[in-house]
Structure 1
């Protein structure tokens, strides 16, 4: 038995894992979907990047979890990767689901074109929050109309400081046991079906494994059973 701590990406909360959780629990594991501060049912709680890291560490410590598989999707790979090195021997593995990965001294937006200037401008114009994405943002990602509606309805504005504040790592991320799940829609051009340079270097590490899913960026909605199986497999690597 392992304990999964599941953290969804920007604008989402614990609810986003609703179709994945039953598969993991049916296999006899502990499952702890987590909402980060300032999102979903925790709206109104001030949050920066360090807050989100502490949210994850505190969940592990509060529940006394061991043999922990930390799972971070999209944005949440940044705080999950930092939390992974801070929970020490409680960690079994980290799984990054089509996510960003933390780089010491760099923020979520550092790798964006122009350093995420357009996103920073939208945050400034929206009172310190990254605004909600329109339904069209989810087109072409292997989602049904109903799944897109759930994503749009469940999303909340994302605390801007968590996107602009830098990650802090004390060790080498490539030395942590990790699986990277790369989501690639069928028909994608070969040059667009590879991980970015940072992830490519990490998956060359002996501690990392790369898994590819033939789906879009939100596999917990588009392929929940397949994603759950990848998480189960990761626990025994």
Structure 2
């Protein structure tokens, strides 16, 4: 039996896994969706990136989880990747779901695909928070009207400090047993940093013909991928 720790990306809380976690439990595994500090029901808690790393490590230790499959979606790949090297032999596998990955000394903002200045200015102009996603962000992502409405209703501003604070890694992520799930509607190829890690031998690539939020658009398929990752 594995214990899945599920961490959604920016703006989203543990509720984002409501259609995935029951399928993991039905297969006999533990499923532990986690809300990071500063969002959803924890939005009043100040948070930087290392706060998020400790959120993840602390929950695993608090629950005394073993055989952990640590799942990070989108932004959450950055704290998840750091937490993975800090939980030692509790880790069974990491699954990055269309996720950013950490690089020592780099932040989410510093690697933003449209340029760090644009994202930093957006956060600064919104009181230190990244404004929640909009309906236009969801276009072309394989989401129905019901899924979009649910995402928009639940999304909360994301603490900018967690996006600008640099990652801290002691070693290369290439040594981790990892699966990378690439959602093809959000781009046909993994980014260069992910591609280099996939070439190293410890990482596996799985493609999904859906958009950036597969826990909403294709929860059954995503659950099957997670179950397969736990068995690998």
Alignment TM class, shorter chain as reference: over 0.9
Unaligned runs of 5+ in 2: none
Quote the residue 1:196 is aligned against.
Answer: 191
Q: Distance in 2 between matches of 1:209 and 1:103?
A: 19
Question: Does 2:203 correspond to 1:205?
Answer: no
Deviations 1:99-130 (A, max 9, x none): 00001110012222464211211211111100
Local SS of the residue matching 2:200: coil
Equivalence for 1:91: 91
What value does the CA root-mean-square deviation take over the aligned residues? 1.0
2-structure distance, mates of 1:83, 1:64: 15
Match of 1:18 in 2: 18
| Other-structure match for 1:54 | 54
TM-score between the two structures when normalised by the length of structure 1: 0.96
- In the TM superposition, residue 28 of structure 1 has moved relative to its aligned partner by 0.4
Cα deviation, residue 43, structure 1: 0.9
Q: Which residue of 1 is the match for residue 220 of structure 2?
A: 225
| Residues 30-67 of structure 1 deviation map (CA, whole Å, 9 limit, x = unaligned) | 10000000000101100001000000000000000000
Q: Deviations over 1:160-188 (max 9, x none)?
A: 00011100000110000000000003xx8
In the aligned structure 1, how far is the partner of 2:114 from the partner of 2:215? 30
Of residues 199-208 and 106-115 in structure 1, the stretch that sits farther from structure 2 once superposed is: 106-115
- TM-score, length-scaled by structure 2: 0.98
1:1-237, aligned counterparts within 5 Å?
1-113=1-113, 115-185=115-185, 192-237=187-232
Contact conserved, 2:71 with 2:94, CA < 8 A, in 1? yes
Runs of 4+ aligned structure 1 residues displaced above 6 Å come to none
Q: Secondary structure at the match of 1:86?
A: coil
Distance 1:114 1:194 in 2: 17
Farther off after superposition, 113-122 or 75-84? 113-122
Change (3 A) 1:57 1:221: same
Provide the secondary structure at the position in 2 that maps to 1:193.
coil
Q: Tell me, what secondary structure is at the counterpart of 2:85?
A: helix
SS of corresponding position for 1:99: coil
Per-residue CA distance 1:211-230 (angstroms, 9 max, x = gap): 00000000000000000000
Distance 2:114 2:197 in 1: 24
Aligned length: 232
DSSP-derived class of the 1:201 partner: helix
What is the rounded CA distance, in whole Å, between the counterparts of 1:39 and 1:163 in structure 2? 13
CA distance in 2: counterparts of 1:96 and 1:51, whole angstroms: 19
